[in-house]
Amino acid sequence: MFVHIQVMSVTSKERTKARPLPLNTVELLRVGSSALGMSPQHTMQVAEKLYTQGYISYPRTETSSYPSSFDLASSLRFLAPSSEWGDLARGLLEAGLNKPRKGNDAGDHPPITPCLLATESQLGSEAWRLYDYICRHFIATISPDLHYLHKELSFWLGGHGEHSETGSGEIVGEFFTATGHSLISPGFTQAMPWLGLGPDSVLPDLVVGSQLPVKEVRMLERQTGPPNYLTEAELIGLMEKHGIGTDASIPVHINNICQRNYVTVESGRRLKPTSLGVVLIHGYQQIDPELSLPGMRAEVERQLGLIALGQADFRSVLDHALDIFKRKFHYFVENIAGMDELMEVSFSPLAASGKPHSRCGKCRRYMKYIQARPSRLHCPQCGDSYSLPPGGSLRTYRDLSCPLDHFELVLWVGGPGGGGGASRVEGGGAGTGRSFPLCPYCFNNPPFEGMNKGQGCPSCLHPSCPHGERALAVSRCGSCQTGLLLLDPISGPRWIFCCNRCPLSIRAFRNASRLTVLPAQAAASDMEDGTFGCARSSPSVCPTCEASLVRVEYPNSTPSPLLNSSPLHIGCMFCDSALSPLVESPSMRARLCSLPIFVFFKTDQLDGHWAVPPALVYGTYPASSQAIPESQLFKWYVPFLQGGGGSYSNQDISE
């Protein structure tokens, strides 16, 4: 039980709080919103009225430093008769003015100062409050700094307890610290009392060794919360920090977003984004994120500043800025459909009618599948929408997630003629639909250079993703010569290999229970589980055609079509004599056409057979340079492979 606290150390140090910088427009707008409850636009209107009536200096200035020639005493002298700040003004004139702090000299107008004495009855309530602040701020800039004593106490909160193991009584407790301040000289806070030290910050006078009884011990449970909405004053400060707008344009910008219903002004002058404002920003981020970030506008402002300093040419800056915004405008117009989709989802009953489908990688909540054209996935929590291929339908995909963004993968099934990649499955019926997995986020935001928007997992360049082209690719496509032939991992037992660039598909290894494309660096131990049909010099790549090897498994319950009825075989689906007959012959021809074409000239003959290299597949007869008829290609090529290829010597080979 705690019985007392004992002071262990007391440290005191005198500190100062600096007087404010001279008043510029941004600070006036910030204070008008936070302290006076006036919008930035209205603050400027009142300040301009005070200026035109001669009560204050020009209110549009970025300078926060008085010029060396500025007559501070004269500006202070006419405030001496005031019943509000006359005592402060007269005291400074008698004791001497303090040198103001040096702020930013923007080279425009001097800081905002009072020019003529006024009363509340002359100005009215609202204008008087702003005028009163300007006068008090001016007096504070030439007043002394605030001086205070910073005190820190270190104390022991202890008592007697019982040891958990021995049961013996011993001293237990904890060290704590407390800090506080005591006023030495109020300085400028006489003019601005709201910036002074609060009464709760003063600590009692204690010395080392002092003991005080403990009246109560409480442990409070709290939890963190999300940050609050920005106030107008905070927004003004951030705009100044990031270089967005000027003293003249900042209030206009804030007034515009209020009038256009992008934000609403809540209690405490906090700016709450509306649904329209949120959707607008999401649309900009989806189409061109730079348009919603501060850097672009700040760079324009920086270039304008260089023009003012004579360090940049006006015409060059103008042409450069116009060119950038013209290009961005045309790009935005070309991709405006993305904004239309977001607007439609947010301001129509489509979002309510969609059905939960797969999880969002950002909030882990279920996204809704909206089937109405254009179909998309929409996350009500985040407010984001993700486009899908046109045509076809969407299904869940084995509860797998993208390793990049953690969005759940979905399976897109394209119907005949659908945009999901309706394919020609040779030997399997024309017009059969193609299915492929995709990550909703990567489909709309390509994660790697070289990928295009609208590509699914079969085109992903992720080095280790089990759904990408590096894990499923067998060889180059023989039809388009640019795509890769990939295994469709969910097409079994009627296995299909599809090109990720063109509609070509190949059926192979019908009724196999499992089919796997071996990785580029497959371990030798993985090969030893079954019959290995290619040379072991490169364990996962065919030495003849450089295609990736495949691992084919058939169920033990049915007869295996492999050699010796083995249930398992590893080899090249094009060159291995045990596997190539199980691939449809028309597609085999397409694969053969993708390999190099050789032309041979008669130079030697061995045992009555023309000597040919193992890599020869399609092009010309070895002896006569005549084209091999398609009808003879397959029956000529397979026995050639089964024979292990021919031998050759002194032959001229041109590719």
C-beta separation of 465 from 457 below 8 A: yes
- Read off the pTM: 0.54
Alpha helices in 212-249 (DSSP H): 232-242
Please report, as a single letter, which amino acid is at residue 549. L
Instruction: Check pLDDT > 70 for residue 166.
Output: no
Give the C-alpha separation, 28 to 25, whole Å: 5
Compute the average pLDDT of residues 233-237.
91
Express each pLDDT in 128-147 by its tens digit: 999 999 999 999 999 999 99
Compute the average pLDDT of residues 533-542.
58
Give me the DSSP letters along 331-397. HHHHTHHHHHHHHHHHTSTHHHH-EEEEE-TTT-PEEEEE-SSSPEEEETTTTEEEE--SSSEEEEE
Report CA dihedral (306, 308, 311, 314) to the nearest 10 degrees.
90
Q: How confident is the model at residue 632 (pLDDT cuts 50, 70, 90)?
A: very low
C-beta separation of 82 from 124 below 8 A: no
How high is the pLDDT of residue 488?
82
Instruction: Check pLDDT > 60 for residue 599.
Output: no
Nearest to 576 by CA among 602, 607, 542: 542
Instruction: Check pLDDT > 50 for residue 603.
Output: no
Active-site residue (options: 51, 58, 133, 284): 58
Cis check for the bond before 226: say yes or no (omega within 30 of 0): no
Contacts of 452 (CB under 8 A, 6+ apart): 446, 459
Contacts of 521 (CB under 8 A, 6+ apart): 540
Q: How confident is the model at residue 330 (pLDDT cuts 50, 70, 90)?
A: very high
Compute the average pLDDT of residues 627-646.
40
Express each pLDDT in 367-401 by its tens digit: 888 877 778 888 888 878 888 888 778 888 877 88
Please report, as a single letter, which amino acid is at residue 242. H
Nearest to 10 by CA among 167, 177, 272, 207: 207
Instruction: Check pLDDT > 90 for residue 57.
Output: yes
**Angle, in degrees to the nearest 10, between helices 25-34 and 40-52:** 120
Give the C-alpha separation, 419 to 123, whole Å: 70
What values do phi and psi take at 532, rounded to 5? -110, 120
How high is the pLDDT of residue 200?
64
How high is the pLDDT of residue 172?
66
262 catalytic, yes or no?
no
How high is the pLDDT of residue 328?
92
Give the C-alpha separation, 530 to 571, whole Å: 10
Say how many C-beta atoms besides its own lie within 10 A of residue 496's C-beta: 22
How high is the pLDDT of residue 451?
82
550-553: strand order across its sheet? 514-517, 550-553, 568-571, 531-532
How high is the pLDDT of residue 649?
35
* Beta bridge pairs of residue 504: 424
Nearest to 374 by CA among 384, 385, 387: 387
Q: How confident is the model at residue 31 (pLDDT cuts 50, 70, 90)?
A: very high
How high is the pLDDT of residue 2?
54
Structure tokens at 356: 């939960």
Cis check for the bond before 111: say yes or no (omega within 30 of 0): no
Give me the DSSP letters along 281-347. HHHHHHH-GGGGSHHHHHHHHHHHHHHHTTSS-HHHHHHHHHHHHHHHHHHHHHTHHHHHHHHHHHT
Report CA dihedral (459, 464, 465, 466) to the nearest 10 degrees.
100
What is the length of the chain? Answer: 655
**Which CA distances in Å does 262 have to 257, 279, 381, 639?**
5, 9, 19, 74
Instruction: Check pLDDT > 70 for residue 643.
Output: no
| Of the candidate ranges 126-130, 437-441, 472-476, the one whose mean pLDDT is the lowest | 472-476
User: Which residue has better confidence, 546 or 186?
Assistant: 186
Instruction: Check pLDDT > 90 for residue 191.
Output: yes
How much of the chain exceeds pLDDT 90, in percent? 25
Contacts of 344 (CB under 8 A, 6+ apart): 350
Q: Average pLDDT of the chain?
A: 78
Instruction: Check pLDDT > 70 for residue 631.
Output: no
C-beta separation of 478 from 590 below 8 A: yes
Nearest to 160 by CA among 276, 265, 52, 3: 3
* Beta bridge pairs of residue 386: 377
At 485, is the secondary structure helix, strand, or coil?
A: strand
Please report, as a single letter, which amino acid is at residue 606. L
Q: How confident is the model at residue 531 (pLDDT cuts 50, 70, 90)?
A: low
**Which CA distances in Å does 597 have to 282, 447, 616, 629?**
52, 36, 8, 15
Express each pLDDT in 281-324 by its tens digit: 988 888 888 888 888 888 888 888 899 888 999 999 999 999 99
How high is the pLDDT of residue 401?
87
| Of the candidate ranges 54-58, 460-464, 589-593, the one whose mean pLDDT is the lowest | 589-593
Cis check for the bond before 294: say yes or no (omega within 30 of 0): no
How high is the pLDDT of residue 169?
53
Tokens 């905002």 found at: 112
Please report, as a single letter, which amino acid is at residue 415. G
Report CA dihedral (270, 276, 279, 284) to the nearest 10 degrees.
-90
What values do phi and psi take at 441, rounded to 5? -75, -50
Instruction: Check pLDDT > 60 for residue 608.
Output: no
Give the C-alpha separation, 130 to 323, whole Å: 43
At 90, is the secondary structure helix, strand, or coil?
A: helix
DSSP state of 617: -
Give the C-alpha separation, 262 to 272, whole Å: 9
Most confident option among 91-105, 406-420, 540-554, 610-624:
91-105
**Angle, in degrees to the nearest 10, between helices 336-346 and 314-334:** 60
How much of the chain exceeds pLDDT 70, in percent? 79
Strand (E) or helix (H) holding 7? strand 2-17
How high is the pLDDT of residue 353?
65
C-beta separation of 457 from 439 below 8 A: yes
Give the C-alpha separation, 541 to 543, whole Å: 6
C-beta separation of 451 from 441 below 8 A: no
DSSP state of 642: H
Give the C-alpha separation, 572 to 588, whole Å: 12
How high is the pLDDT of residue 137?
95
Instruction: Check pLDDT > 50 for residue 598.
Output: no
Give the C-alpha separation, 345 to 407, whole Å: 20
Give the C-alpha separation, 34 to 267, whole Å: 11
